[in-house]
Structure 1
């Protein structure tokens, strides 16, 4: 890695209950659990990575001061939005219908290239956006 390369590799996600959030992201969203460690009696870090992603999330206690549920618009790109949405629904995640932007407002259904989305939240209300990446 060059000294001039900047790579976003970890995003802090503020949660109120680390065990509940870990279960949600691992079991319901299918994220891989990379790390679950206690650095002290008051500091614990759980790192999870979405399937195929180079960027992970940290669920932590005692590291940051963001209120649980305050992170919105975490966007992940998927190759097949319907399949990703179906997988979340099958694992009990409440996810919106597919939507797109039309004339500056949200409309139901698929849009054109890069214009198909679905939305879900974790148990604390941190908001996620799934966006479909057009095929090659």
Structure 2
């Protein structure tokens, strides 16, 4: 039995602003933008190369905007990924490295969406 995580809901205050950030700034592809009523709208976007998407909208999730933290985008070249996002206007932190004796180094660079939902670029030593 496979258990695949393929969708993470994100709470946001402004759906159009969030969509512009995820599509124009982060380069995510739009899978769905559906609004059958004024009270409900779901936008689903997927990072390039990912099997997992994020969804946000009106009536999608009841948690507070900005309350989701620790989402990781795993990349092969964190410096190139950080430079790409910074070039698109994302306020992404400098790369930091974590290591422990006998363990490979893992690199991180954090950023948030316009509502404060927290993301981290991560490069694993392979």
Per-residue CA shift, 1:24-76, capped at 9, x if unaligned? 00000010011100132201000000010000000121122111000000011
Q: 1:68 aligns with which of 45, 65, 68?
A: 65
Offset at 1:102? Answer: 5.1
Matched length: 124
Measured against aligned partners, the alpha-carbon deviations of 1:51-104 in whole angstroms (never above 9, x if no partner) come to 10000000121122111000000011001101110011000000000002357x
Of 99, 112, 125 in structure 1, the residue corresponding to residue 116 of structure 2 is 125
In angstroms, what is the RMSD of aligned CA positions?
A: 1.4
User: Which aligned pairs between 1:17-96 and structure 2 lie closer than 5 A?
Assistant: 17-96=14-93
- Further displaced range: 27-36 or 126-135: 126-135
Change in Cα spacing, 1:36 to 1:82, as seen in structure 2 (3 Å) is same
Structure 1: stretches of 5+ with no match in the other structure:
104-111
Q: After TM superposition, which residue ranges in structure 1, 4 or more long, deviate above 6 angstroms?
A: none
C-alpha deviation, 1:114, in angstroms: 4.9
Query: What does residue range 89-104 of structure 1 map to in structure 2 within 5 Å?
Result: 89-101=86-98
Say which is worse superposed, 32-41 or 85-94, in terms of deviation. 32-41
Distance in structure 2 (CA, Å) of the matches to 1:56 and 1:12? 9
| Preserved contact between residue 98 and residue 105 of structure 2 (Cα < 8 Å) | no
